[in-house]
Every structure is written in C-alpha cells, then in structure tokens.
Structure 1
C-alpha cells in the first residue's frame, strides 16, 4: 500500500491551490468538495485529478468565477435556470437546492439548467435529497464523446444521471454514465499507460481501438471516433438503449432549458453545459416510512438471492462507494503519479506547503 493522504489534508491543499488561482472561497470550497467526494468513493476519474481542468477552463473563459445563476422561468414545482457560465458545482448546488425547496412546499421540484459547466459526479446532487428523506434526481449533458448506434462521429456526451432513494439502513444510489465508460476512465488508463479493452471506444474510422491516447487525441481535435454508448457498437447487446438514454438526458437538460445540446457544447466562448435536477417527496405515493421499508425489502431480497459460482456477494447500487468512502476517511486517499505531480506542480507554483503525509511523487509505493 502506498502512502495515503488524509482527506482533510488533501482538501486543504486543493482549496489553497484554487484560492491562489483567484477562485473565490465559495467556488473553491464547492469544487473541491465534489471532486474529493469522487476520490473518497474510489472514482479517481472524477476526483482531484481534474483540478487542473477547472483552472484551464477559467483561463479560457468557459468558467466565469464571478457569475451567479439566475431563474428565467419559475412555477411552484419547476424552474429553468441560466447558469450564466458559472462553476458547474456552484450552479448545480443552487439548482438542486431549489428543487428540494420546491419539493418541501409542493412535494415535487424539477429544475432544468442551461449555460453551466462540468459539475462532477451526479450522485453528489441526487444525494442532497436524502437528508430530507426524498428521492433525488440529477443528470447532465457533456462534451461530445459518444458515437450513436451505427455512427462514427462523437455527437453525444457520456450524459450521466443519478437517482438516489432514501432507506432506513441503506440508501439506493444509482450513478451511471449512458456510455460504456467515461472520458475520465480513458484518462486514468492513459495516465497509467494501459490499453483499454476492445468494445470501449472506436477510432476515426469507426473501428474498435485499444489506445486511450488515440481516442483522447481525436476528442481534442474534434475528429471522428469516440466512446460507445452503453451496450456497445450495435443492437445485439443493447447499444441502441444506451444511445436512447444519452439522448433522453440531452432532451431533459438542454431541451427543456432551451440550452446547448452535447454536440454544441464547448464550441463557443462558454461551455454551455446543461443539467436537470429533480426532487420527489415520498408522501406523493403514501406513508413515507412504509414506502422506505418496502423498497428496502425489495433490495434485501435481491442481494440475498443465490450467488453465481465464484461470487459471494451481490452489491446494491451505492454500496461499494459507501464502503470505499468509509475506508478512505479512515485510512486516507491514494493518488496516482500524474495526479500527485499535477498537485505538486500547482502547489509549488504558489509556494503552498504540501501536507506532512504527502506521498512521494514518482512512485506509488515506499
């Protein structure tokens, strides 16, 4: 096991870096909070490895640090928000909090968002409803990375969504991309110098490739090729279903907000990313405590069903992440070499002292 960085130490370092880069306190806190939640849960593709991305997008004018979201359409149960180019985490916290507020008053709150930025992991926002014992929904479109079924042009985003359902002992938290993998996963493989499996992505000719660098270069140059939708390249294993789910996310986020759909994001001076958030009070359907117990019984019966040979456990959605989060909070977070180098470089740029438990750069182990 390599040296691990304590959560609070890594948080302090990353916030100091963003503050030194002239991010305001609110943006620095909210961005780091979301990124570290990904690292805590064992999702390094969406963790602090992306810190440099937000600095670059601020520099390019995609992220407008002093901008605030505004409501452009409002009803008792819904709203449309213009993010005005603000940090995706700040815009999304505002939008999800508004959905929760509406649901507390009217039992349902739906909010569509346009003109925002990358917001991190979807579960961060859907889970905000759990503290109110409500169902939370969060989804976002993204940079065009995914080819539609029978296509070779990356025209859809990985378009993830999350649904969080409260429980008394365990919460059900589904958080998934509508593609086979995310761009972040390709970046992890590229950082580690590893080939990706066949069936994850296609090159500019539409043929399967195992080179993450080739796919990433095509993204950067807006060439053909990209990640496959959930289910793969054709209809035999349901690729058209993943394609439909990705399109659905775009219609609910960009469509309902009159915003920019995936293919048009990051094509002008601003990112134009769009989101959709929802909050549902369980009382819409009956006595909340009865519903919670009933849904938990369904999950319990599924995970206690017979296991396949060689497997001892069936995991419900959100369980692995919850277990990883407990371990990370107790033992610390391990960072790959390129992430350590990125944060070390940014810290040294501003004369920021790294924490005492900072792992050695250039080696995974001591």
Structure 2
C-alpha cells in the first residue's frame, strides 16, 4: 500500500533543497518574517511563461535594475521596455506587462491586489499567474499548476489521461494537496520538485520526498507520464524581408504594428507571412538584390522562412515606411530573435552585395 502524499513532507524537503532564485525569498528568510515583493513575483512569473529559468535570470536582473518598482516600470517608455525584452520571446507578454504596471500604478496606488480574484482583473494576468502571485506573495492558499506541477500530479496519482485533456483532473488533484499553512512555499516546492527531481525524461525517483506515495513509480510507468496527445505538424509560412543601409551606415527599420506576432517590436520592413511566397513589396525605391539566402525561425504554431532582399542607398534616400536609424544608435540586441537572425545573416554572409569597397551591408 502506498502512502498518501503529504504537503508537510514536501515542505520539509523544500526547506533543505529550495532553489536560489533572484526573485525568491528563501524558506529560512521567509520564516524569519521577510516577505516577497509582489512586483518581483509578478515580473518573474510573466517572464517565466513558456520560458526557462536559465533564460529569464539575466532579463529579470536587468529589468529590476532599470525599473526596481512597478511605478518606475509604469513610467517607462514603451520602446525602451520592448527593446530590453527583445530576445525573450512571446512579445505580447511585454505589452501586457506595461498595461498591467500602469493599471497597478494608476488605479491601485502602486500596490498589487492581494487575492487571486482581484489579481485576475489586471491586464495580462490569467488564472495561473494570479494563483502564483496570490500564493507566493500573499500566502493565499491558491493552487498553482504549471507544467512541472502537472507532471508531478500525473505521476503521483498515475493519471493515464493524456494532456491537455487531463488538465482539469490534474488541477483538482493539485487543489486537494494545497495546504492552508505556507501555501506560497508549497507552490514553489512542487514546482522545484518537478524541475529538479520529477523531471521529464529521467526522474530521480530514488531521492524523491514523495517516492513512497507515487503510484506511477510503483507501477513502473513514471517515465511514460504524463501522456500527451500527439501534436499536429507545424505549418510553414513564407515572407520577404528587406534590409537597406545608406552610405552613411544608417539602417532602415520600422516598428511593427501593436497587434500580432512581434507587436510593437523594432524590425526590418517586410511582407506578411503567408502559405505562399508573397509578391515583392519593397519599402523604398532602391536597387534591391536577392542574395539567394533565407532566415529560418520557429514560432509556437508555425515555422517561418524569410527570403532576404538587400539594398545600399545614397545618403539622401527618403522613405515613407520606416526610419533610417544611424549606425551609432542601432542596437542589434533591441531586435526580436528572428530579426536579429536577419541582421547576423546580413553582416556575416560573404555573398551579400556591397555598394563600394569601403561601405558594406
């Protein structure tokens, strides 16, 4: 007979094994009266959506250095925040980040609401993020369910139903274990368990604090769970991207529309992304060349292939689409990943055109 999973057992394990995070208050400090900053909890949770801890650390440190409070973030320029977010992906998060910060600053006096229900009324905060903030920052016994928690619950209870159909059942099982005492530490403990021991491919069952209550371990099926419904093959979309540089070194760039993928981000002018290669649609009149190369990038729901078009133009070239950004002001790091790939292709590919012996693209 297997033991029943105990929140107390997991909390004891967490007290000794909690991961160190720049946004986290350790269980020892928390027991000594130190409270988490809701702003840092919120910021980290938004950044961590569909992104790894390793990728988020540097961004979190930079953001909190530039904007240490929700009020300072709310007062920041949109373009500056979007540029600092570049490379982290899922750019709607950055737009919602600003919207939420401004609502908290303007309508809540710079203080985050303390309950899950009130937090869900803020822009960009859904059930998961609201639960995480409520539990971690305010010790509300809200149930936090991410991919790590789903995996732990599926194995502890040997849930055979594949994801995503199993989500409601796994959430109910997680709710049944959420304690009224130290719910914030408990939420982080389950996530740490999934991230460090109950991992996807090689769970370390022999050192798991819940090994005696894990039904999947007893059945020998831990590595097979949670099951997942096979994903459909991602479609491929095609587009053209236009890279122009003036003789004085300025690059032609534009800010993408607020809605849609990469909304509000800086990038190279281009066509829509479609099933078939779109018609040529250059942003300015110039002698465009086709270097015969393309940039490939994968988004959540499709693969993208962008064919390059290149041009060198005189200093007096005008434009009705985009802006020529002086070389000294241009930061490739401010570009989203796919646009940065375009830049790297342009500056490293020896086949690309040059206007003169001294001025290369």
TM-score by length of 2: 0.25
TM-score by length of 1: 0.24
Structure showing greater Rg: 2
